[in-house]
Amino acid sequence: MIRKALLVGINDYAPVGSGGPDLRGCVNDVRDMANTLSVLNIVPATASSMKILTDARATKAAILNGFKWLVAGAKKGDVLVFFYSGHGSQIADVSGDEVDKKDEVICPHDYATAGMIKDDDFRALLVNLPAGVNLDVILDSCYSGTGTQVLSALAATPDEQSIAYRYIEPPIDWGFFIDANPSLPVHGILKREGTGGSRDPVVVLNMNHVLWAACKDNQTSAEAPINGVYRGIFTYNFCKALRGAGTSITRRRLDSQVTVNVKGMGYNQVAQLEGTTSSLNEKVFT
């Protein structure tokens, strides 16, 4: 059995240094996730098993190449983890000549020049994933059309009190059609259409991976100082709950515990878990 992880966290968006839509908790999220996976013997803390991409190294090309490395040669029983902490955005997904849905995307360090990473990019890499491979995709990023307004309202808030939301407004060539058609149904990255309205884990037949999203498709994902250190609210609670329960907990139970803990901290974002019935009821990372 092979155990591998690709962990991506981006605080510093291009240009390098100040000037981009920077965040503060994403690299800490990667550190927390790497430590958690290692301590619980889910993925060994070795360069051959765990690849980490942060800030300027987390380009679009590097993330996609890293994902290819993650799934390359995968066989039944292997345990694979893809974790992303950073900005998310949304675009109109065009089918034929008609706009019929919205897609969530993630934003690599160089998204402004290289482009965002769409769900189609990942699906193309997953289409031949063998049955029985245990792939968990964990995304701590936003999907919200109001995130930029929330950010502007917080601009004058002192650092020690501030909450940031991980959302980037899409470029006009992708975002215009959403603004022009506000009734478009939501279709999140690596999610099936219409899953955003339910709190319960979403069962998807024949899904070949498990998706952990930090919030529903129409919500923001927050980062804030916790004990003086900026972290993603979802990632912090995911790692804390997983360390407390160990790998004997099922995905459903872990999802429920994370949601309770996030709400207990005063945040409204609701994590979304998606997979097959059997994968949701399995012990985590098995």
Q: How far apart are CA 7 and CA 140, in angstroms?
A: 11
d(CA 179, CA 182): 6
Is there a catalytic annotation at residue 142? yes
DSSP for 107-137 reads --TTHHHH-PBPHHHHHHHHTTPPTT-EEEE
**Among 215, 248, 245, 217, CA closest to 233:** 215
Cα–Cα–Cα angle for 239, 242, 248, rounded to 5 degrees: 160
Residue 170 DSSP symbol: P
Residues 239, 22: Cα–Cα separation, whole Å: 23
CB 212 within 8 A of CB 218: no
107 labelled catalytic? no
Contact at 8 Å (CB) between 165 and 147? yes
Active-site annotation holder among 26, 107, 142, 215: 142
What is the distance between the alpha carbons of residues 126 and 69, in angstroms, rounded to a whole number?
12
Active site residues: 87, 142
